[in-house]
Amino acid sequence: MTPFYAPPSFTRMAEVRLYNTLTRTVDRFVPADGTTVRMYTCGPTVYNPAHLGNFRTFLFEDLLRRTLRLAGWQVHQIMNLTDVDDKIIKRASDRGLTITDVTEPIVDTFHADRAFLRIEDAEGYPKATEHIDEMIDLVARLMDRGAAYQAEDGSVYFAIDRFDGYGKLSRLDTRQIRPGARVSHDDYSKENAQDFALWKAAKEEDEKAGAAWNSPWGRGRPGWHLECSAMAMRYLGATMDIHCGGVDLVFPHHEDEIAQSEGATGAPFSRFWCHGEFLLTDGSKMAKRVGNVATVADLREQGVSAAAFRHFVFSTHYRKQLNLSAEALEASIEGVRRVGDFADRLAAATGATPELAEVAAEAEREAAEALFDDLNAPLAMGALFKFIKRANAELDRAGNDAGAIAAARNALAGINGVLDVIPDHGPADDAGEIEAMLAERRDARERRDFARSDAIRKELEDRGIAIEDGPTGTRWKRAR
Ligand code: AMP
Ligand code: ZN
């Protein structure tokens, strides 16, 4: 029997599931208020251009925000910029500069690199140095509640044994690190070796670099963990929906963020904690101190497009490690070329078989289901390539269903709206112009003016367009 109601679209049926580090299970996700996902993503420390490892994490977060929107929610994302920390101060004092001199150009590079990789803008990029008041307030609340103390060295520490939940994110208990056990540590002024600094007493070099502020506990500067807690709660309230970062942030950074925030408010700090795995080079984590970093500048120099790098990153699940290699990038360059050719072909097509609409609907559903299942981008990518193969076969058959073309364009736009893997065209050429030249060539051939038709082919080839005459007309694609 035919149903008398229209089946709901896949987005209305969407059940988004995400792996939550807090529960260690894949849990159903819905924003607390039912409409807007409030998420915080730990941003870069701006003393060096972010490397591709950092960008793997930021791309995972971009995938997350785009998937959440595909599911029908709004997203309010905050990404902090850590513009005061040990490394920044060291860089500034080595060069006789202030921390702002060091960080300002790097912030610009970060935004340019992010734009190059098509990472969507977050709703806010607060800087730590512009939120010192909020940080001091948070320390004051923790002092009032007896969860923090000022030590002999003048710094203020969080007392982890006065917060019951300490260790719940990183599962300290199962890792056999007892917070109460004193480990040998230089920092004798702390009550407990694992207590961490909320507010660091200013040293001479902090003052010189412009990295010291007044506080009720004297001149000093915020600890790194404190920055994120204060800015997250300032922009997202006491409880947010999702907090993200790379896996190396689980402990101590995120554990300490939880302690400070929940220690001050008594409310759960984040409902979901999502962490992306590392990018490796030659088997080790890409990291500045290992000396194996590559940057967006390197990608651009080597002619690796944003589309190709996104393809490379999204071809592995975000919770698996990923090794950067020239071969893998090469394969991604080839892969996105196929996507680009297909997009061009769809843009130029005027009609197709009705089956194309079915192929498109199936691709859209498969890709969305994969993404909603803990961001399975590799599976979504597979659905996209299967779609391209099947749709190309449909387009090879002559058809005049314009609706089917529209459906295919929509499906491609929907899937690509999340993955964003269609390479940019060269600046001068566009599909319409190429189509016009092909039409002129067709006319020339009909007139048997082969000199003219050859000249047009040559002109197209010079512009990097390869053409192929077949039984259903002429196809073209962009050569390398
Ligand atoms: P940082 O600037 O060091 O604070 O790092 C910014 C973000 O990049 C954090 O979420 C880190 O967890 C993440 N990150 C650092 N190294 C890597 C790596 N090799 N692969 C993936 N993510 C990383
Ligand atoms: Zn953070």
Average pLDDT over residues 40-56: 97
Percentage of the chain modeled with pLDDT above 70: 92
Per-residue confidence (pLDDT) for residue 145, from 0 to 100 = 96
Amino acid identity at 321: Q
Q: Ligand 2 mean position to 80 CA, how many Å? A: 7
Looking from the CA of residue 57, the nearest atom of ligand 1 is 22
Q: Tokens at residue 471, please? A: 């039984």
Per-residue confidence (pLDDT) for residue 176, from 0 to 100 = 54
- pLDDT of residue 314 exceeding 90, the answer is yes
Q: Which of 41, 42, 53, 43 is nearest to 289 (CA)?
A: 53
Average pLDDT over residues 89-100: 97
pLDDT tens for 434-467 read: 878 888 898 898 889 999 999 999 988 888 888 8
Q: Residues with Cβ within 6 A of ligand 1?
A: 42, 44-45, 53-54, 56-57, 245-246, 248-249, 278-279, 285-287
- pLDDT of residue 9 exceeding 80, the answer is no
Q: Residue 69 burial by CB count (10 A; 0-12/13-18/19+): exposed, middle or buried?
A: middle
Q: Which carries the bigger pLDDT value, residue 232 or residue 425? A: 232
pLDDT tens for 140-153 read: 999 999 999 999 99
Closest residue by CA, ligand 1 atom 1: 44
pLDDT tens for 96-127 read: 999 999 999 999 999 999 999 999 999 999 99
Domains with residue ranges and CATH for the chain: 31-288 (3.40.50.620), 302-419 (1.10.730.10), 431-478 (no CATH)
- pLDDT of residue 359 exceeding 60, the answer is yes
CA 2/CA 334 separation, integer angstroms? 44
Closest residue by CA, ligand 1 atom 8: 54
Q: Ligand 1 mean position to 410 CA, how many Å? A: 35
Q: Tokens at residue 457, please? A: 């082919």
Q: Residue 222: phi, psi to the nearest 5?
A: -75, 150
Q: Which carries the bigger pLDDT value, residue 187 or residue 184? A: 187
Ligand with the closest atom to the CA of 274: 1
CA 413/CA 418 separation, integer angstroms? 9
Looking from the CA of residue 46, the nearest atom of ligand 1 is 2
Mean pLDDT of all residues belonging to the chain: 92
In the structure, what pLDDT confidence band is assigned to residue 185 with cuts at 50, 70 and 90?
Answer: very low
CB atoms closer than 10 angstroms to residue 288: 14
Average pLDDT over residues 208-217: 98
Per-residue confidence (pLDDT) for residue 186, from 0 to 100 = 47
CA 25/CA 21 separation, integer angstroms? 7
Ligand with the closest atom to the CA of 284: 1
Q: Ligand 2 mean position to 18 CA, how many Å? A: 20
In the structure, what pLDDT confidence band is assigned to residue 254 with cuts at 50, 70 and 90?
Answer: very high
- pLDDT of residue 318 exceeding 50, the answer is yes
Q: Residue 155: phi, psi to the nearest 5?
A: -80, 155
Residues whose beta carbons lie less than 5 angstroms from ion ligand 2? 42, 228
Closest residue by CA, ligand 1 atom 14: 54
Candidate of 248, 312, 324 to mutate for ligand 1, largest count of ligand atoms within 8 Å of Cβ: 248
Average pLDDT over residues 190-210: 93
**Is the peptide bond between 252 and the residue preceding it cis, with omega within 30 degrees of 0?**
yes
Q: Model pTM?
A: 0.88
